[in-house]
Structure 1
């Protein structure tokens, strides 16, 4: 199983609309990815550990795919639509993508 994570860095005074991200952008991506997407979730950053410290990331979106090829196949078809939607919820660029292999799931 492959997890594709998009990490949005925290920036003092930056804008991230978590409501839009949760109710519009992520469901749009999941719909476009279709059956290739095996699940998705969102993490909203709270802090960096010590109370009162800003989180390193304001949000992280996760998608699950069986294989890396399955992700690439659907992403290249819908990349423009998804990237064009980013300014609707985030004013700090495109975020950073991390692709990882899930070894253990409980």
Structure 2
């Protein structure tokens, strides 16, 4: 085999191995899970403390969910999908849970504490969407 082909083969092998490892490390969200998206709309004068949300609020809410919680994510809004348009959301928190009824039962007794904590990190009212993962 020519030296250039050997190097090319090695590079292709290394890239495919790295891609395979990266693919293994990706978290898969299973079909049928319930996704609770808490979206914080952007508007002039609205604020959001991401550090507090990440270290205090979301862990607090997650602790109420127990074994029903599969995972949660936190997203920071960067831009609108349409250039030169305002940011639609400053942040989005997402909980993936196994059961909607279990989620509601777990959150219900703590809803006042959850809402009271809003003032610690934002001055906007979130929009909440509950959906089912289909793919």
TM-score (norm 2): 0.71
CA contact (8 A) 2:68 2:99 kept: no
How far does the alpha carbon of each residue in 1:25-75 deviate from its partner, in whole angstroms, 9 at most, with x for none?
001111122222111001110010245543100001000111211111111
- How much is the aligned-residue C-alpha RMSD, in angstroms? 1.3
2:101 is the alignment partner of 1:101: no
User: Runs of 4+ in structure 1 displaced over 6 angstroms?
Assistant: none
SS of the equivalent of 1:5 reads: strand
* Higher mean C-alpha deviation, range 46-55 or range 71-80: 46-55
Q: Which residue of 2 aligns with 1:67?
A: 99
Alpha-carbon distance in structure 2 between the residues aligned to 1:88 and 1:11? 18
Alpha-carbon distance in structure 2 between the residues aligned to 1:52 and 1:88? 30
Alpha-carbon distance in structure 2 between the residues aligned to 1:50 and 1:8? 19
Structure number with the bigger relative contact order (C-alpha 8 A, sep ≥ 6) is 1
Q: Which residue of 2 aligns with 1:39?
A: 71
Alpha-carbon distance in structure 2 between the residues aligned to 1:25 and 1:90? 11
| Structure that is richer in helix per residue | 2
CA contact (8 A) 1:3 1:102 kept: yes
Larger Rg: 2
- Uncovered stretches (5+) of structure 1, i.e. residues with no partner: none
